Amino acid sequence: MFNDKTIVCKDCGQEFTFTASEQEFFAEKGFTNEPQRCKPCRNARKGNKNSGSRERQMYDAVCAECGVSCQVPFQPRDDRPIYCSDCFRR
């Protein structure tokens, strides 16, 4: 019923085979779209999302409540107060 298909990866441009057994699996799960990325590119994308490999940029700030130096994950603005984690919880 299914035949192997050759697909070009949208990330790296390399050809990969969408096997008949993979197509059957997709059909059983109700997936309607074919894969757009080869296995190494899919794994790389999954790794970037789940492994925490991307560093979150932190910004230095001073707590408006207690005056302690702290870091926050957003660019502080002068028109909004910044709170350290202890003061924020209160």
10 and 34 housed in the same domain = yes
- Rounded Cα–Cα distance for residues 14 and 66 (Å): 56
Give me the chain's average pLDDT, please.
88
**How many CA atoms does the CB half-sphere of 63 hold within 13 Å?**
14
Same domain, 70 and 45: no
pLDDT tens profile 63-77: 999 999 999 988 998
Displacement of CA 24 from its chain's centroid (Å):
28
**How is residue 81 written in tokens?**
């107060």
Same domain, 9 and 42: yes
Could you tell me if 9 and 33 lie in one domain?
A: yes
Q: Is there a single domain that holds both residue 38 and residue 64?
A: no
State which residues form the domain around 24.
5-50
Q: What is the pLDDT of residues 48-58, one digit of tens each?
A: 555 455 577 88
